[in-house]
Amino acid sequence: MSAYPEFPGFKPISLKDKGALQAALWIYQPETSELTFTNIYMWSSLTRAHWCIYKDWVLVTCRDRDGGLYGLPPIGPSPCLEAVSVFLEWLRDEKGQNSPRIERADHRLSEELEGTGMFHIEPTRDHFDYAYERDALARLAGRKLHAKKNHVNKFSKTHAFEYAPIDETHIKACLATEDKWCRDHHCCDDINLIGEWEAIRKVLTGYRDLEYAGGVILIDGTVEAFTLGEMLNEETAVVHIEKANADIPGLYAVINQQFCEHGWKMVRYINREQDLGDEGLRRAKLSYHPARMVEKYRITPAEA
């Protein structure tokens, strides 16, 4: 462990940390979409993520839009009471956080801490992940998904397209597709969209090192949509990014269906992350009828 930053010596997340962090995360077998190395790394320019080792746990700090510092749940063996207590005390006493908090905690940590009386545990609905049966998204079978299947069938009849697994030859075209998306959606006027574009650029240009899976839709040889994700745990894949040319109706439905069909054949569930409280995005995610919601919680000291 001496080669890694030791608490409280937090250091910025970098690609050099992938091996250590990815190994710890895989042992933990997370259910929440934030807890993959690719996710933490790709958003680190926006969240300013730092990490260190405290005994048997990995601790990660992030900053929100207002600059407030918070922790992600300790990554390591249960019980985590010691790690949570030390983390929150450090955030309060050393970093001056009047309301120290751990965000995106999963049900395992929530249930472990609930009976101690030491913490206030609050569900954060805007961050709940949507988990779907892979087979349902790939086949779009049944009455509930009939309209989605019609969209895909209509697209297939009106467009000669090709699905291909993403590789290094597609990266430049994917960047161009995202540039167009940003122009169409006026990213320069929205700090959140600017942050998203930086994250997507980071993950695309880091293709060789990050080793995620992905797919593209080609129409007339041009990349018009792309998506990428990775394994979250032994039975779940998580989709981090999905972008499509908004001028082509039905393309989002197609890239979603095709990636599930071809990219994750041996996976039971697909986690398609949260809606962040956006009503339009919430309706879209609910329209695919998730198998379950992956609940997340905010943990603060009881006295706070």
Cα separation of 275 and 128, whole Å? Answer: 8
Please check whether residues 259 and 160 belong to one and the same domain.
yes
Please check whether residues 102 and 159 belong to one and the same domain.
no
Please check whether residues 138 and 97 belong to one and the same domain.
no
Confidence at residue 169, expressed as pLDDT on a 0 to 100 scale: 96
Please check whether residues 113 and 174 belong to one and the same domain.
no
Tell me if 304 sits within 8 A of 107, measured CB to CB: no
Cα separation of 50 and 10, whole Å? Answer: 6
pLDDT digits (tens, 9 = 90+) for 79-112: 999 999 999 999 999 999 999 999 999 999 999 9
* Nearest by Cα to 148 from 139, 159, 135: 139
pTM: 0.95
Please check whether residues 105 and 159 belong to one and the same domain.
no
Please check whether residues 236 and 133 belong to one and the same domain.
yes
Please check whether residues 153 and 80 belong to one and the same domain.
no
- 140: containing domain: 129-273
CATH code (residue 158): 3.40.630.30
Please check whether residues 267 and 145 belong to one and the same domain.
yes
Cα separation of 111 and 287, whole Å? Answer: 30
281 found inside a domain: no
291 found inside a domain: no
5 found inside a domain: no
Please check whether residues 65 and 165 belong to one and the same domain.
no
- What is the mean pLDDT of the segment spanning 29-46? 97
Q: Mean pLDDT in the chain?
A: 96
Confidence at residue 304, expressed as pLDDT on a 0 to 100 scale: 59
Low-confidence winner among 53-57, 191-195, 201-205, 283-287 (lowest mean pLDDT) = 191-195
pLDDT digits (tens, 9 = 90+) for 224-248: 999 999 999 999 999 999 999 989 9
